[in-house]
């Protein structure tokens, strides 16, 4: 069985309490349960992580790249949070590992502040899912299953 990583960046541990009008009332544990169900349906084993630290996300991307090269990993769903708009390091890790990656946003970033309209990782992602709430995770997993 191939593995799929779902990686979550800064402040996503606050889901359910942080700006519920924007992000909804689902918690990160709820998101993990959605992802587990979607992965089971698609035939993937799930590795689900969240960190407020950029370096942890980089380490998981590097691991994902190694596992992908060994044929053990299908891909990555990445909700990089605010690092989406600032992290050249995440861009370089995605590009350098060559791992198939879907960039994910719970909210429609293009309907929000202008600084959220730019992504440093979109150009190295296979696809971008945004604005579907936490159901976007399910859509991203289904998309990776079809690649």
Where in the sequence numbering do the catalytic residues fall? 23, 105
Half-sphere exposure of 115 (CA within 13 A, CB side): 5
**C-beta of residue 15 within 8 angstroms of C-beta of residue 26:** yes
* Cα 136 from chain centroid (whole Å): 10
Whether 26 has a binding-site annotation, put simply, is no
Phi-psi map region of 98: left, alpha, beta (phi>0 left; psi -120 to 50 alpha): left
List the structure tokens of 12: 């996503």
Whether 116 has a binding-site annotation, put simply, is yes
Whether 92 has a binding-site annotation, put simply, is yes
Long-range contacts of 56-61 (CB under 8 A, 24+ apart): 57/7, 57/9, 57/83, 57/90, 58/89, 58/90, 58/93, 60/5, 60/7, 61/7, 61/90, 61/93, 61/94, 61/97, 61/99
List the structure tokens of 44: 């993937």
Can you say which residues are annotated as belonging to the binding site for substrate?
79, 85, 92, 106-107, 116
């Amino acid at each position: 069985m191939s593995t799929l990583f779902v990686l979550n960046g800064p402040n996503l541990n606050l889901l359910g309490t942080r700006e519920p009008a924007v992000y909804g009332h689902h918690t990160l544990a709820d998101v993990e349960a959605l992802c587990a169900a979607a992965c089971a349906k698609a035939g993937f084993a799930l590795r689900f992580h969240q960190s407020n630290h950029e370096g942890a996300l980089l380490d998981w991307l590097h691991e994902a790249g190694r596992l992908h090269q060994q044929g053990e990993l299908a891909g990555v769903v990445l909700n990089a949070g605010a690092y989406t708009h600032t992290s050249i390091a995440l861009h370089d890790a995605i590009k350098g590992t060559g791992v198939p990656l879907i960039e994910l946003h719970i909210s429609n970033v293009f309907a929000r502040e202008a600084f959220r309209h730019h992504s440093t990782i979109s150009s190295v992602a296979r696809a971008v899912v945004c604005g579907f709430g936490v159901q976007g995770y399910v859509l991203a997993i289904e998309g990776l299953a079809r690649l």
